Structure 1
Amino acid sequence: MKLGLFTSGYQREPVEHMFQDAARFGYDYIELWGGRPHAYPPDLNRYGTQELRSLSDRYGIPISIFTPELNAYPYNFMLGTETQRQSCVEYIKQCMDAASALGCQATLISAAHAGNLTSREAIWDRLVRTLQELVPHAERLGQKLILEPLTPYESNTVTSANDLYSVFQAVPSEALVGMCDVVAPFVQHESISAYFDKLGQKMYHMHIVDSSGSDDVHLVPGEGRLPLPELMYELKERDYHGSATIELVTNYLNEPRFYARRAIQNLRQMMQEGDSHAY
């Protein structure tokens, strides 16, 4: 299983630090957060991706996944007028173009909160229409579009493996795939293993961190209540060879280098223990 460094926590650091740390701490790839100052898609599309690609080559760290910010201002394709939705669709297409220029295999999106008064029927219609507009663009680029379920603290749209399964039935495409951020099932007492059983080959990617079990905060592996050693055993026995990003976000902005090192050291140790206990 390949482990990735998420770059949101590095937004106050020079861009080179992300690649330096990924290389020296033993990460396999970068999952690039699409925000300023480093990788806002309109900036990349306007001024090019040369610096990021040069750093990727220099440090031998590929940028495998591009993850634009879609849960906060100003972009959320599940909220607002139809004009705002269409604007967000065009923005995500720009994100996929930037990802392609960076050499990424995939763009990762999430469906954020659709508003407190929105009916389930209206939520579903808006979600499906949006994905139907985005998937052909991913197909043309030869890219995967990863849909990430969020926690119920963050969204009322896609929060479970069942939600993903329903999406794949409604929008059939090899380009559209799913993932599991382990915090989402853990905080709502859903089975993490069920993602693999229900989604099959559509289970493309993971975010692995720790959790208190009572909020959406992403903690360094080993510093919460999630049974991560047992999860490592399970992934080994399931022969999971996909990618897993250690998604530390804004909780560690002050010292991202310290926590990026601790996070992969802790998780690598759990993986080694999983190897020794696997049958």
Structure 2
Amino acid sequence: MKIGMFTAGYQRNNIEDIFKDAKRFGYDYIELWGGRPHAYPYDLKRGQINDLLKLKEKYEMPIKVYTPEHNAYPYNYMIGDEYQRKEAIEYLKTAIEMGKALGAEYTILSAGHAGYDATRKEIWERLSVSIRELVEHAQAQEHMILIEALTPYESNVCTTANDILEIVEYIDSPYFGAMCDVVPPYVQSESIMHYVNKLGKKLKHFHIVDSDGKSDTHLIPGDGSIPLKELMADLIGSGYNGDVTLELVTAYINEPSLYAKLAIDRFKKITER
């Protein structure tokens, strides 16, 4: 099981710090956050990707996963008029192309909040149409996309294992799979391991962090209340053969290097036998 470093917390740092820290702290790969100033899809397309590819080669640090920023910045394909939906889809199609060009194995998507007026029928129709468009584009690129659940604090669309299973089974493509961030199930008293049981081989990736159980805050391992040692033992014992990213987002943006080091040190201690 390889361990990845998520890069959103480095957005106030020089981009080279990401690769330098990932190498010296012992991470196996980078999960690249696709937001400005470092890896916004349209900036990559206009040439910034060359800098990232050079750093990837210099530090011998793979970019295994690309996670473009979306849902509200300003792209959320689940809300607004058809023009806004289409614009969000075009943005994510570009993100898929950039994920492929970066050499990433996966580009990760989620489904933002659909608004309080949307009915379940309207939510499903918009989600299924949008995901089908994105998967068809990914298929044409021969690049795999994954969908993750968000917490109920963030979305009212895909927030549970059943939600993810429903859309993955409906689309049914070898280029479309699932991942699990452990915070959404934990904050709503859903079994994390049921993602493994329900999604089976469609489950390709995990975001591992800690949680206080009452917010969407992503904490470093050991600072929340998830029994991570026991969870990781169950996950490894289940036969899951994907990788895990320690997804520190912006709670530690003031000192990303210090917390990236602390996170992997604690995680390795949790998983040592």
TM-score when normalising by structure 2: 0.98
C-alpha separation between the residues in 2 aligned to 1:136 and 1:105?
Answer: 17
Unpaired runs of 5+ residues, structure 2, are none
Q: Give CA deviations for 1:8-44 in whole Å, capped at 9, x if unaligned.
A: 0000000000001101111111010111111111111
Aligned to 2:119: 119
Q: Displacement of 1:141 after TM fit?
A: 1.4
Divergent runs of 4+, >4 A: none
Aligned to 1:238: 238
C-alpha separation between the residues in 1 aligned to 2:21 and 2:235?
Answer: 26
Q: Is residue 2–residue 241 contact of structure 1 (8 Å, CA) maintained in 2?
A: no
Q: Is residue 218–residue 249 contact of structure 2 (8 Å, CA) maintained in 1?
A: yes
Q: Is residue 196–residue 240 contact of structure 2 (8 Å, CA) maintained in 1?
A: no
Aligned to 1:19: 19
Q: Is residue 161–residue 195 contact of structure 2 (8 Å, CA) maintained in 1?
A: yes
Letter in 2 for 1:20: K
Q: Give CA deviations for 1:86-109 in whole Å, capped at 9, x if unaligned.
A: 111110000011111111111101
Q: Displacement of 1:177 after TM fit?
A: 0.4
Aligned to 1:59: 59
Aligned to 2:2: 2
Q: Displacement of 1:58 after TM fit?
A: 1.0
Q: Displacement of 1:48 after TM fit?
A: 4.2
Q: Is residue 7–residue 31 contact of structure 1 (8 Å, CA) maintained in 2?
A: yes
C-alpha separation between the residues in 1 aligned to 2:10 and 2:252?
Answer: 9
TM-score when normalising by structure 1: 0.96
Aligned to 1:149: 149
Aligned to 1:134: 134
Q: Is residue 152–residue 159 contact of structure 1 (8 Å, CA) maintained in 2?
A: yes
C-alpha separation between the residues in 1 aligned to 2:83 and 2:36?
Answer: 24
Report sequence identity in percent.
51
C-alpha separation between the residues in 1 aligned to 2:129 and 2:200?
Answer: 24
Aligned to 1:108: 108
C-alpha separation between the residues in 1 aligned to 2:141 and 2:65?
Answer: 14
C-alpha separation between the residues in 1 aligned to 2:201 and 2:73?
Answer: 33
C-alpha separation between the residues in 1 aligned to 2:240 and 2:123?
Answer: 32
C-alpha separation between the residues in 1 aligned to 2:251 and 2:153?
Answer: 16
Secondary structure at the residue paired with 2:155?
coil
Q: Displacement of 1:241 after TM fit?
A: 2.1
Q: Displacement of 1:170 after TM fit?
A: 1.5
Secondary structure at the residue paired with 1:49?
helix
Q: For 1:108-257, list aligned pairs within 5 A.
A: 108-257=108-257
Letter in 2 for 1:62: P
Letter in 2 for 1:118: A
C-alpha separation between the residues in 2 aligned to 1:205 and 1:236?
Answer: 13
